[in-house]
Amino acid sequence: MATSTAVSSGLAELQIRLGYAFRQTALLQQALTHRSFSADHYERLEFLGDSVLNLAVSHLLYAQLSDMPEGDLSRVRANLVKQDTLHQLAKTLDLSAVMRLGEGEMRSGGQGRPSILADMVEAIIGAVYLDSGYKDAQALVERLFQKVDIKPDMQAVGKDPKTELQEWLQGRKLALPKYTVIGTSGAAHRQVFEVSCEVTELRQTQQGSGASRRAAEQAAAEALLKILKSESAA
């Protein structure tokens, strides 16, 4: 068990890596806490950070890729905010060294699980937003992505179901889908998320499940995309 001194030292070092000093360090601690460790966990901060991240990355791309049309900007953004990219950022920040997990989650390798690490990056962004507002959260996002090679041809890289669904809808001038967590089940270290994916204009909704919110969203998007492609081919 880490001592309180070691924990404080770890949080202080992380803030140096982030380039941001928290006024309320409890927010940072919460952002690094998995539900298997405590009821005061990161998921609400992650929900907030997800929106802040998308807005900050959108602004970054708008400024850097000034000649790129909206559809291509959306595809590049999808690559930047996907799990793989955020996982790499988490590794750069060494979040595994300071995250708080329950014993069961630790034994199952949770400290290296990409979905948890990616979620914690978003939670930290949400924590900065609550701590001092959007301007500092945006600045953090820009620092995190400084070493990411942002280029126009990123839209061709590794399309996941959410990205593919977004492109399918945009190609038909339809609004983006809405993802909603409709339930969770299972023990804290083996939790299953249930998510719905809805396209209001088409009156279509499908559900998906997964070990993380991200995984469940991908499963729901894949299920809905399959239905839409099947109907359009009929």
123 and 229 share one domain:
no
pLDDT at 189: 63
How many domains would you assign to the chain?
A: 2
Per the CB < 8 A criterion, the answer to whether 142 and 60 are in contact is: yes
Cα separations (Å) of 68 from 28, 61, 65, 144, 198? 36, 9, 6, 22, 28
Q: Which domain-ending residue is among 156, 185, 212?
A: 156
* Domain range enclosing 218: 159-234
Do 139 and 49 lie in a common domain? yes
Residue 141 shares a structural domain with residue 169:
no
Q: What tokens were used for 172? A: 């038909």
Residue 5: HSE in the Cβ half-sphere, 13 Å Cα cutoff: 0
Q: Is the pTM of this model over 0.85?
A: no
pLDDT of residue 215: 85
Determine contact, residues 150/76, Cβ cutoff 8 Å: yes
36 plus 146 within the same structural domain: yes
Q: CA-to-CA distance for 18 and 13, rounded, in angstroms? A: 9
CA end-to-end span of the chain, whole Å? Answer: 59
Do 97 and 205 belong to one domain? no
Q: Name the residue with tokens 């890289």.
A: 157
Instruction: State the sign of the Cα–Cα–Cα–Cα dihedral 163, 168, 173, 178.
Output: negative
**CATH classification of the domain holding 234:** 3.30.160.20
Domain shared by 182 and 85, yes or no: no
Q: Which of 156, 183, 215 is the last residue of a domain?
A: 156
Q: Based on the fold, state whether residues 55 and 115 are members of the same structural domain.
A: yes
pLDDT at 187: 73
State the chain's mean pLDDT as an integer.
88
Q: What is the pLDDT along the chain (234 residues), one digit of tens a residue?
A: 455 665 688 899 999 999 999 999 999 999 999 988 998 999 999 999 999 999 999 999 999 888 888 878 888 888 888 888 999 999 999 999 999 999 888 888 888 989 899 999 999 999 999 999 999 999 999 999 998 878 776 654 456 788 889 888 988 888 889 999 999 888 766 778 999 999 999 999 999 998 888 889 989 999 999 999 888 776
Q: Where are the alpha helices (DSSP H) in the chain?
A: 4-18, 25-31, 43-64, 70-81, 83-93, 103-107, 114-132, 134-144, 161-170, 213-233
Q: Report the pLDDT value the prediction gives residue 149, as an integer from 0 to 100.
A: 79
The residues annotated with a catalytic role in the active site are 50, 122
Give residue-wise pLDDT tens across range 5-60: 656 888 999 999 999 999 999 999 999 999 889 989 999 999 999 999 999 999 99
CATH of the domain at 135: 1.10.1520.10
Q: What is the pLDDT of residue 158?
A: 56
Tell whether 130 and 168 lie within a shared domain: no
* 148 and 177 share one domain: no
Q: Give me the pLDDT at residue 1, please.
A: 41
Final residue of a domain: which of 156, 190, 211? 156
Distance of alpha carbon 209 from alpha carbon 217, whole angstroms = 8
Residues 109 and 14 in one domain: yes
